[in-house]
Structure 1
């Protein structure tokens, strides 16, 4: 069984791999293709105790620090060219816009920290923070708060899920089926909601009011 194979891996090896993945997540936008959430949860399924989770959590936070710093420097150096590059257009303007709202919105630092729980968006925010001139010290402080909560929470959830599956292998197929149905239903609802919003905006008089951008992160 795959979980049994993962459980035999050295926690330090798992931590090293997680560090590398999360460093690339925020610096080279790898998180737009392979969301870091999935990597953290999979790593968690291989961990079986507080000590192992702590080792992986420290490694994961270091990876987030490196990724956030690298992304900020890329944004600082290249500005909006990343956003308007071929890769940036592939990511989608709606995702960039959502990440920009999180970076410059009224929520300030707490909103930025919470953004780590938003797949894809969390990979874009470091680059946008550098592009928009958010001071590094303020940015990295909240990035560390958010990444610590994000990595720790998902590692614990992954570990609990892995332990549950190992003890209840006979439930794996029905549980997986329920999860797949739920995911498909949420995807359909999300698509319909987006279509309804686009329809309202396209109607006469339905254009949204100009958005006022708040000052950078306080």
Structure 2
């Protein structure tokens, strides 16, 4: 059924998803990357990709603006709310480094390619008072590249699937095994780092030499 959807309908859905991605932190549950790739699989030509890309960038603009306004209005209360704690402090810290780091604009543009983090960056940019014009300029620069790249990748994958349907089951199985392996490796790596941080220092204490009796 891939490639049989109206590109304008695909663009409208993608616009809505990406608008919610940055404004209401929907991207912490449903990463925008996946939505863009899935949308791309239904597109079969440059014109259809262009329509969806324009809609997706508009969605990014609305989502980034909404997130910035929420951060400007509510500040750190979003970060320390129940939903903010569910997201995880390590993700907030990573997004904060991007929103306030010395790399400035280029880091904001690159943040579009970081799942979950790209949903938190607009809120933090507003919280820390980053000028809106500077913020939205760099965010849109990253969004154009992000949306277009992932739509093209999705379109290529969809075309491959349509022409090689007999390979889809084994390919899906291999991808599932690869994803499971990466999850296991990632969890073990995090557990190892946590153990290293929490392990007490076992180096022997320096010996104290008592002064000679007088």
Could you tell me which residue of structure 1 aligns to residue 16 of structure 2? 20
SS of match in other structure, 2:44: coil
Could you tell me which residue of structure 2 aligns to residue 216 of structure 1? none
Give the aligned CA root-mean-square deviation in angstroms: 1.3
Could you tell me which residue of structure 1 aligns to residue 117 of structure 2? 121
Q: Distance in 1 between matches of 2:126 and 2:28?
A: 18
SS of match in other structure, 1:17: helix
Deviation at 1:85, TM superposition (A): 0.7
Could you tell me which residue of structure 1 aligns to residue 179 of structure 2? 183
Deviates more, 1:187-196 or 1:144-153: 187-196
1:72 maps to 2:68: yes
1:55 maps to 2:40: no
Could you tell me which residue of structure 1 aligns to residue 207 of structure 2? none
Q: Distance in 2 between matches of 1:51 and 1:195?
A: 47
1:148 maps to 2:144: yes
Aligned length in residues? 202
TM-score (norm 2): 0.91
Deviation at 1:194, TM superposition (A): 1.1
1:108 maps to 2:104: yes
Q: Distance in 2 between matches of 1:204 and 1:18?
A: 49
Q: 2:85 aligns with which of 82, 86, 89?
A: 89
1:152-163 to structure 2, matched below 5 A, reads 152-163=148-159
Q: Distance in 2 between matches of 1:93 and 1:75?
A: 16
Q: Distance in 1 between matches of 2:97 and 2:129?
A: 14
| Greater radius of gyration (CA) | 2
Q: Which of structure 1's runs of 4+ aligned residues deviate more than 3 A?
A: none
1:195 maps to 2:182: no
TM-score (norm 1): 0.90
Gap runs ≥5 in structure 2: 202-214
Deviation at 1:106, TM superposition (A): 2.6
